[in-house]
Structure 1
Amino acid sequence: MSAQPKLMRIELPGVGPVQVRALDPETDAVTLHDWLSRDYARFWGMQGKTLEEVRDKYRGLLAEGREEMAIALDERSGRPLFIFMAYDPRHDLLQRFYTVKPGDRGFHVLMGPPGQDPVPALTFHAFRTIARWIFRDPTVSRLVGEPDIRNRKVLARLVQTGFEFGSVVHLPHKTALMIYMSRERHQALQDGMPPPNGPVPLSDRAVKLHMLAGRIGRKLGIYERNW
């Protein structure tokens, strides 16, 4: 990955100034452990892990040097808002399941719990912030992701943020929906509050069928794209 500044400051509606800095497993593990232990973070598959297991996991990821990890904080209160990771799909399991293009950059995001004063549309603003952070690298031309197809709240926010949907992929650890956003599309989007919710591409019935196909495929050791 290109060498880039490790801090970005941005104004978020309803929040104010937000700072993005590099994630530090030594100081941020307590926050990570708390968030990953909650029910809403079950799609991450780390519930029941100890604090040291979480710290060791993120120490190891950083030591590999394949992921850039950052945390966004409310500048005035210091409250952590969300954590995200950016990675090169060419060096990730995901490259087996879609056609990687030059300039692709994958990402994952973990939102913090709402707290006593929830911020309106924070997930929408988080995705917009992440896109700005990753596209600051001029070598990146497209964002890609693979959210769990059951996570309909996140899928709805991705529609609002301007992501386009691809095919369903059955990964060894989950059934997901590919998402994409080009640099050009990102630059054409307007800042401000989110537009109305767009349609989530999969019906409840389709989700159930894909989940069943994924379970059968994993049991048989079969993984295919575009099921």
Structure 2
Amino acid sequence: MKRLGFVVLASTIAITAAAPASATILLPGEVGVAFSAFDASTRGVQLDSIQSGTTGATTYSGFLRSAVYRNTLGTLDFYYQVAITAINFGDEVYNLTSAGFFGYSVEALVDGTDFDGVGFFTAANNPNTQGPAGSTTTASRNGSGSVLRADFGANGLEGVGQTSATYIFRTNATDYDLGGTFTTQDGSVAQRANFQPTSLVPEPATWGMMLLGFGMVAGAVRYRRRSRKIVYA
């Protein structure tokens, strides 16, 4: 039993260490939060991706790009990029939104590089600065926490060939499905089904309660064994 207890303790410590470290979190109801620079060493492995046209929009056309990566912390990152191939004069794509993230922790990150090489994500191609130092794009989240938004500000897309940076929402999710949405808008709206998180990593406090529970079970087993020895002695 001592050996079992040690294994449980070691496993719990390892899982807790793999959980997302504390960071700037985009809380429900927050607006105008600056995106942080993405640390490429934490990117991990791509699990899924979609590139589709701007179906539904009448004032612009282009591509909506998104992907899910399992980062090196073991949780999921959700990637978004918008590329414009045509847009009406005077119009401007000014934000993107994604749902649903209700109940999940979210960190807002940005990457302006062509990080996937031959993949469909490209380097930011916009007249304004796209990196965190000087970017006017900010992150927001609605009151329930379900919808995430990148507001482009002066980084809005208003010309043929312009491409946003890739905006990355790091979560504590461990699985995903296609039940969410990805939306962009200016004078009209483009929307499509998109990835959303479906299960999450227990918070450190939850792991602590689980560890306490394991300890109580181990103690109860030891007590029963000790009691049997006394009865049959």
**Which TM class, normalised by the smaller chain length?**
under 0.3
TM-score scaled to structure 2, two decimals?
0.26
| Higher fraction of strand | 2
Q: Indicate the structure (1 or 2) with the bigger Cα radius of gyration.
A: 2
